[in-house]
């Protein structure tokens, strides 16, 4: 490649500027020299970003390096992506288009990301994404990821050129990882010594998510009059013995906005996989931050279509919505317009729950078990629930009582005007039968 550059430069006038092809080859050679010299990973990543910027000017790009045995990739160079996708951000294998390319060890070209359920937004209003895995000796050691909000797409020739550069630097990257001849880039195995307990837990959760180790049980939501089943709430949890072996623990796992969206998409996939069309409405908790992630609505629609379900058969529950009213108000309106209903979960435990009820206009409001417990003996609770039901009858919101434990509680709630109930008394959570 160096000889090609020399021959081309000899044909250039001393007084003239280098032609575009020559500039590209000079930068290409610089990248390969860095790779051959085993530089710092960040230096090679920065050089790759500069070369890609020449091929596709202004295109947002990430260089991720990692080892499939560890279960994730780490961002070592980035330009133009969201702040939460900065240096050090880790993407689990199999999650998103980037993780899918690493798992399949093949480039993935997506001309319309809104039609691909794997897409997790890295750039605002993106149109397309290209993920190029670095492969050395049959081992994936990294991925170059490009996505852009520009309508103009890279040509086939440009994509092949970038794939060739990716393949050229992969052997050098392989030397930095565990099992190579050089020192490891970073401690990839999740059980490595020196990692904080919280970091090890997060990496374990990522591994469980990538390997699809979650399971779902379904608890019926029934009419209090007649006990007709109108739907099921999916309770998604990690395997027993892990820190997330209950639905509440999994939902409250510490995470940033990017990982929150990836985890919620994984939970939606598990819930849909075990659900059957015609069983009623499917209720599922999601993190309020996920609701306003760009692209989440498109991913959700694609997943529903792949399971032969309509938007009207899904109800997204928002726990602690009162703390996120301002942030999710516009997103809530968009989901309602698309036919996906919302529910306020654990209503009655937050200071701003009433504001969320008024501003978000949910289809359902789920009364927390602490509000329901002993309601037949507490005049104040009955009065509050009666007032709430008076309001919801006029706004089209249906109250659902959670955690009913006795027939006395059920009868008292029915007299107050509560239409639906959920809890061990009316049906335990269990897998759905085919």
Range of the domain at 160: 2-174
Three-state secondary-structure class, residue 279: coil
Three-state secondary-structure class, residue 422: strand
Task: Confirm whether pTM is higher than 0.75.
Answer: no
The gap between the terminal CA atoms of the chain, to the nearest Å, is 61
For residues 228 and 141, state if they share a domain: no
Three-state secondary-structure class, residue 371: helix
Q: Does the residue 428 lie in any domain?
A: no
Which tens digits make up the pLDDT trace of 23-66? Answer: 666 667 666 666 666 556 778 888 888 888 888 888 999 998 88
For residues 154 and 251, state if they share a domain: no
- Binned at pLDDT 50, 70 and 90, residue 22 comes out as low
Q: Does the residue 195 lie in any domain?
A: no
For residues 47 and 113, state if they share a domain: yes
Q: Does the residue 286 lie in any domain?
A: yes
Apex CA 275: angle with CA 363 and CA 310, to 5°? Answer: 50
Nearest C-alpha neighbor of 288 from the set 263, 257, 321, 256: 321
Boundary of a domain, candidates 147, 174, 201: 174
d(CA 147, CA 62): 9
Which tens digits make up the pLDDT trace of 230-266? Answer: 999 999 999 998 888 888 888 887 555 667 777 888 8
Pairing, β 215-223 against β 229-237 = antiparallel
Domain harbouring 115, CATH code: 3.30.450.40
Q: What is the per-residue pLDDT for 143? A: 93
Q: Does the residue 180 lie in any domain?
A: no
10 Å CB burial of residue 377 (0-12, 13-18, 19+) is exposed
Q: What is the mean pLDDT of residues 164-188?
A: 61
Which tens digits make up the pLDDT trace of 66-83? Answer: 865 656 788 888 988 877
Q: What is the per-residue pLDDT for 8? A: 36
Is a pLDDT exceeding 80 seen at residue 347? yes
Q: What is the per-residue pLDDT for 163? A: 87
């Amino acid at each position: 490649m160096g000889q090609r550059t020399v021959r081309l430069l000899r044909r250039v006038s001393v007084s003239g500027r280098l032609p575009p092809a020559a500039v590209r080859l000079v930068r290409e050679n610089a990248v390969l020299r860095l790779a051959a010299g085993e530089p710092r990973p960040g230096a090679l990543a920065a050089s790759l970003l500069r070369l890609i910027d020449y091929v596709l000017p202004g295109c947002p790009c990430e260089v991720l390096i990692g080892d499939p045995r560890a279960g994730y990739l780490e961002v070592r160079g980035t330009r133009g992506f969201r702040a939460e996708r900065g240096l050090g951000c880790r993407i689990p294998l199999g999650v998103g288009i980037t993780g899918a390319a690493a798992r399949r060890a093949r480039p993935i070209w997506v001309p319309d990301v809104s039609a691909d359920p794997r897409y997790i937004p890295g750039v605002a209003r993106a149109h397309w994404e290209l993920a190029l895995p670095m492969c050395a000796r049959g081992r994936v050691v990294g991925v170059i990821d490009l996505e852009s909000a520009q309508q103009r797409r890279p040509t086939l020739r440009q994509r092949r050129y970038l794939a060739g550069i990716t393949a050229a630097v992969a052997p050098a990257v392989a030397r930095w990882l565990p099992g190579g001849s050089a020192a490891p880039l970073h401690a990839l195995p999740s059980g490595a010594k020196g990692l904080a307990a919280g970091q090890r837990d997060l990496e374990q959760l990522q591994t469980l998510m990538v390997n699809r180790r979650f399971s779902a049980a379904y608890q019926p939501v029934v009419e209090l009059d007649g006990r007709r089943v109108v739907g099921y709430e999916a309770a998604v949890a990690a395997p027993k013995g892990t820190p997330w072996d209950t639905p509440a623990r999994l939902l409250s796992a510490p995470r940033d906005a990017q990982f929150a969206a990836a985890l919620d998409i994984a939970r939606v996939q598990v819930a849909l996989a075990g659900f059957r069309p015609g069983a009623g409405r499917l209720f599922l908790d999601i993190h309020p931050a996920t609701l306003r992630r760009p692209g989440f609505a498109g991913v959700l629609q694609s997943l529903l279509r792949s399971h032969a379900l309509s938007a009207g058969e899904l109800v997204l529950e928002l726990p602690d919505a009162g703390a996120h009213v301002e942030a999710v108000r516009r997103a809530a309106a968009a989901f309602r317009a698309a036919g996906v209903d919302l529910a306020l979960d654990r209503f009655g435990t937050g200071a701003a729950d009433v504001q969320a009820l008024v501003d978000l206009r949910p289809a359902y409001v789920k009364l927390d078990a602490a509000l329901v417990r002993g309601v037949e003996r507490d005049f104040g609770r009955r009065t509050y629930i009666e007032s709430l039901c008076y309001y919801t009858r006029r706004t089209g919101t249906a109250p659902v009582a959670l955690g009913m434990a006795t027939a006395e509680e059920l009868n008292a709630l029915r007299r107050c005007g509560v239409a639906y109930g959920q809890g061990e008394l009316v049906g335990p959570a269990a897998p759905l039968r085919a």
